[in-house]
Each structure stands twice: as C-alpha cells, then as structure tokens.
Amino acid sequence: MKKVKVIIAALAIVFVIIQFIRPARNQNGQVSGQSLAFLYHPSDSVVKILQAACMDCHSNNTHYPWYTNVQPLGWFLNRHIRQGKDELNFDEFGAYSTRRQKSKLRSIKDQIVEQAMPLKSYKLMHPESRLSSIQKQMLIHWLDKQIDSLEQQ
C-alpha cells in the first residue's frame, strides 16, 4: 500500500511540474497582407466559416480554449497547430506561388468534400466547426471561383 501512495505522489508531482512547461502561443494579433482574405476578399459568410472551421490551426492567430492550459493537452494541440500551419497557412497564402495556391485551393475543396477537415477531434470540442451542407456548398462555390480566376492568369 505504501508503494502505491509513493507512486501516486510521484505522478502528482510530475503532473504539477509539467504545468510549467508550456508551448509558445500561436497568436501574433496582426492581419497579414499575404492572407487569403486580404488577397481574395471572400464574403463575410465565407470568412465566418473559415474562422470557425479552419483558422485556429491554419493561421497565425489561434483562439485557445481553456483546456490548452492543462499539460499535456496543450502540447498535443500545439503539435496539431504546427502541423496544420506547415500544411496550409491562410495568413501566408500570398507567399505561395500561383501553382501552389491553386493546388491548396483544390486540396481545401477535396478535404471539404471528403469530410476530412476539420478533424473529428476538433469538431468534437468545437461544435461551431461542424459545417452544414449549405456552408460546405458556399465554401466549394467560393473555392471554385478562386480556382477559376487563378487558372485565367
């Protein structure tokens, strides 16, 4: 019994200590001149959809829920955000070549159609990110217009 108490106490101490090891926040608070919204001027409804379903992981400004202050959850989410930004960063979209922009827009469309994005784990904790059929169609229509305009160039 004494051994169990020692193990529980050690685990509690480790849990408390890891609370002080926090990843840097993904919040620069600035709107980039390279952002997708700045370059392509989506409607307010499209912007709201992108903010609710995409921007926390695919921009330079994440809105953090309370549970990211609890480690190791914060580490887990930070890893997802880094991976999301590595794959696609809406705030740096203008820095991509035209070919890469078209590819990314097509990929976004495919992810929506295949229901691969937003991630299931994200939708679980963020019900506002669950896109309705109308929202999906609105995004797909907007994406098709942007792809067509890039192909005209």
In contact, 123 and 78? CB cutoff 8 Å: no
Where is pLDDT greater, at 26 or 141?
A: 141
In contact, 52 and 139? CB cutoff 8 Å: no
In contact, 24 and 117? CB cutoff 8 Å: no
- pTM of the entire structure? 0.84
pLDDT tens digits for range 125-143 = 889 999 999 999 999 999 9
Based on the structure, what is the number of domains in the chain? Answer: 1
Nearest 5°: the CA angle 26, 58, 109 is 175
Q: Does an H or E element contain 33, and which? A: none
Residue 93, domain extent = 2-152
